[in-house]
Amino acid sequence: MPTTSLELTLRDLIQKAVEEAGFLPSGESVLPISLEIPRIRSHGDMATSVAMQLASKLRKPPLEIAETVSNHLRGLLKDSPIQESVERLETKPPGFINLFVSRNFLYQVLQEVLEQGPEYGRSDLGKGRKALVEFVSANPTGPLSVAHGRQAAVGDALAHILAFTGYRAMREYYLNDEGTQIDLLGESVLVRAKESLGISAQFPENGYKGDYIRSMGESLAKKFGRAVLESGKAKEISKKFAVGELGRVIQGELDRFGVKFGPWFPQSSLNRFGYLTRTLGILKRRGYLYEQEGAWWLKSTAFGDDKDRVVIRSDGRLTYIAADIAYHRKKFQRGFELLVNLWGPDHHGYIARMRAAIQALGFPSEALEVKIIQLCTLKRGEETIPMSTREGEFTTLTQVMDEVGMDAARFFFLLRKSDAHLEFDLELAKKHSLENPVYYIQYAHARICNILENQKKESEISGARPDYSKMSSPEELALLRLLREFSGAVEAAARALEPFGVISYLQGLAEAFHRFYDVHRVLGQDPALSAARLDLIRGVRTVLATGLRLLGVSAPEKM
RNA sequence: GCGCUCGUAGCUCAGCUGGAUAGAGCACUAGCCUCCGGAGCUAGGUGUCGCGCGUUCAAAUCGCGCCGAGCGCGCCA
């Protein structure tokens, strides 16, 4: 039987044991059974605290309850399909029941890893629901910054993780190709173009500076020439040109970073066929849009927002949120049941109104999960690199990638929970040494590949039948246990929408491997044992590779 | 003023939906290659978990208040 169902069956049996003992509180038919992996190994592979939860209701000492429940559980286990998997139970004060899995069970886990290969660890958490991860979505007004880099790393990893846990996950980039900022961009480029032709022009206030604007202006001038740029269509042309150019630049940067979006979703497309207008019409009909002081407001306070929000300005122009509301309606209509949005910290005030808008449209707002991706500070050793988005002096994602490489860049962006500030040390990321966590994990993978390479020369071992029962050292069992926990770790990451969990799992697995490697020789005197250990490290390699794949980091065979 | 996030070892951070003795890495010290890659391993010790009150059999974890840090609060996006 598949090892993944062990927990389910156990929960079931514990519930039955409680019933048999007559401990089920009256009026309750189902008890939430806690079943966790204890922090301390000597407390077993799994533990439940039901006895303590029942203690106060039953007015009995928890340890006594634990004894009785575990006696019943022992009996139930004897006739169950998992009797081979659970080796023993123990009760410990203040009232825990600890379960120890058998070695045979762990060997079975290894078998599964080898059989399923890259598919091992996949789960059905999402039950095939469609999930959309929308991230980066940077205004096309310049190259991607380091902050976007972090969003890209997190978003891409999340999409991988969701896909691996049973969601049909898609990545989407919402292209903000109209609105005030884009007008400003167009004007800025146009002025630079004119300047390059010797036409004097007033640079807009708060316009976009930076060398890339100037060089875009020059190519705009070359492409269209004086006559066009002095015509009435100039602004529109310049805007289109700039958005197109910068869109390509951003796309190129994301490609280099290994992030593959589906087709981008341009904001401008929402205006076609009156979709946006219809969406506002729906809000109006449902009574969540009202007119005041010449503007139209979304009654977002009806759903917990601080204040109502303007959707149509008094001059008739739409605000940004109008388009965004329509965009999110579109997401639902496209069949997505989980909407994950990755936003910068400056957007968190925006969450409440988006949620409100979704509810106002009649969609379930729980479907929306907004992750705020905190900014990061770039450091070079002790020195902090100042970042100003003004003056085009900021460090770009491309610069970081050029300096530390893609693997290190992606890994470091994921190294902290995404809602916490991140210190990105360029020096450390470049180091090919023990302090660098990327190499620690990749090195484990490369080491295994190396052993497997060497093994080919030893025909005696290649032909041997593996005898798993010879693997009984703490180091070997630790690795097997970790292999078992992989799926749970990925599921937890999916639930929390937090790739960080996968990283810490991989660090643990790599550490356990290095430790094992140091104590035991894989290619040794005993062919049956060597063959078993080869299987073990193959399993470890598989899981390391899968985990790294989920993070978008490569698993090199040689370093 | 209101809202969000955060406060854990000297530093950077883990600690899953409350659980049993609060953990890693860095830094510091001392060791480990006749042997599959030493980019590795082992051993050393530190904590008012910001403060207080509450909920609970059990609180770093949940609730409230306070202190401190960061960010947001436009008919900008």
Instruction: For A92-137, write each residue's pLDDT tens digit.
Output: 888 899 999 999 999 999 999 999 999 999 999 899 999 999 999 9
Residue type, A551: L
Name which of A205-214, A344-353, A401-410 the model is least confident about: A344-353
Please report, rounded to whole angstroms, the spatial distance between the CA atom of protein residue A55 and the C1' atom of nucleotide B54: 22
The residue whose CA lies nearest the C1' of nucleotide B22 is A39
Please report, rounded to whole angstroms, the spatial distance between the CA atom of protein residue A383 and the C1' atom of nucleotide B42: 34
Please report, rounded to whole angstroms, the spatial distance between the CA atom of protein residue A93 and the C1' atom of nucleotide B47: 26
pLDDT band per the 50, 70, 90 thresholds, residue A30: low
> At residue A19, does pLDDT exceed 90?
no
Please report, rounded to whole angstroms, the spatial distance between the CA atom of protein residue A143 and the C1' atom of nucleotide B3: 32
Please report, rounded to whole angstroms, the spatial distance between the CA atom of protein residue A487 and the C1' atom of nucleotide B74: 47
Average pLDDT over residues A423-434: 74
Q: Which nucleotide is nearest to A452 (CA to C1')?
A: B36
Q: Which nucleotide is nearest to A292 (CA to C1')?
A: B75
CB A283 within 8 A of CB A309: no
Q: How far apart are CA A441 and CA A449, in angstroms?
A: 13
pLDDT value, residue A370? 87
- How many alpha carbons fall within 13 Å on the CB side of residue A459? 0
The residue whose CA lies nearest the C1' of nucleotide B26 is A435
> At residue A293, does pLDDT exceed 80?
yes
The model's pTM: 0.93
The residue whose CA lies nearest the C1' of nucleotide B36 is A451
The residue whose CA lies nearest the C1' of nucleotide B32 is A518
C-alpha angle A6-A81-A126 in degrees, rounded to nearest 5? 35
* ipTM of this complex prediction, to 2 decimal places: 0.90
pLDDT value, residue A389? 44
> At residue A427, does pLDDT exceed 50?
yes
Number of H helices, E strands in chain A: 19, 15
Give tens-digit pLDDT for A320-368: 899 999 999 999 999 999 999 998 877 877 888 898 999 999 998 888 8
Distances (CA, A) of A63 to A49, A52, A55, A70, A97: 10, 8, 9, 10, 9
Please report, rounded to whole angstroms, the spatial distance between the CA atom of protein residue A272 and the C1' atom of nucleotide B65: 52
Name which of A216-230, A245-259, A402-416 the model is least confident about: A402-416
> At residue A471, does pLDDT exceed 60?
yes
pLDDT value, residue A433? 61
The residue whose CA lies nearest the C1' of nucleotide B6 is A420
Give tens-digit pLDDT for A542-559: 999 999 999 999 999 988
Q: Which nucleotide is nearest to A533 (CA to C1')?
A: B36
Name which of A132-146, A377-391, A458-472 the model is least confident about: A377-391
For residue A258, count other CB atoms closer than 10 A to its CB.
17
In which order are the strands placed within the sheet that holds A338-343?
A168-172, A130-134, A338-343, A368-372
The residue whose CA lies nearest the C1' of nucleotide B13 is A416
The residue whose CA lies nearest the C1' of nucleotide B16 is A492
Please report, rounded to whole angstroms, the spatial distance between the CA atom of protein residue A394 and the C1' atom of nucleotide B17: 41
**Dihedral angle, C-alpha A491, A496, A502, A505, nearest 10 °:** -80
Please report, rounded to whole angstroms, the spatial distance between the CA atom of protein residue A485 and the C1' atom of nucleotide B66: 42
Give tens-digit pLDDT for A66-98: 999 999 999 998 888 888 899 889 888 888 999
Look at phi and psi of residue A136 and say left if phi exceeds 0, alpha if psi is from -120 to 50, else beta: left
pLDDT value, residue A390? 42
- Report how far apart the first and last C-alpha atoms of chain A are (Å, whole number): 38
pLDDT value, residue A372? 83
Higher-confidence residue of A450 and A207: namely A450
Q: Please give the share of chain A, as a percent, with pLDDT higher than 70.
A: 94
Which of the nucleotides in strand B have any atom less than 7 Å away from a protein CB atom? 2-6, 12-17, 19-21, 24-27, 35-42, 56-58, 70-77
Q: Which nucleotide is nearest to A178 (CA to C1')?
A: B77
pLDDT value, residue A434? 56
Q: Please, what's the b/e burial string for A468-501 (b: 16 or more CB within 10 A of its CB; e: otherwise)?
A: beebeeebbbbbbbbbbbbbbbbbbbbeebbbbb
Residue A161 structure tokens = 């993780």
Residue A424 structure tokens = 């990105």
Please report, rounded to whole angstroms, the spatial distance between the CA atom of protein residue A420 and the C1' atom of nucleotide B8: 15
pLDDT value, residue A259? 93
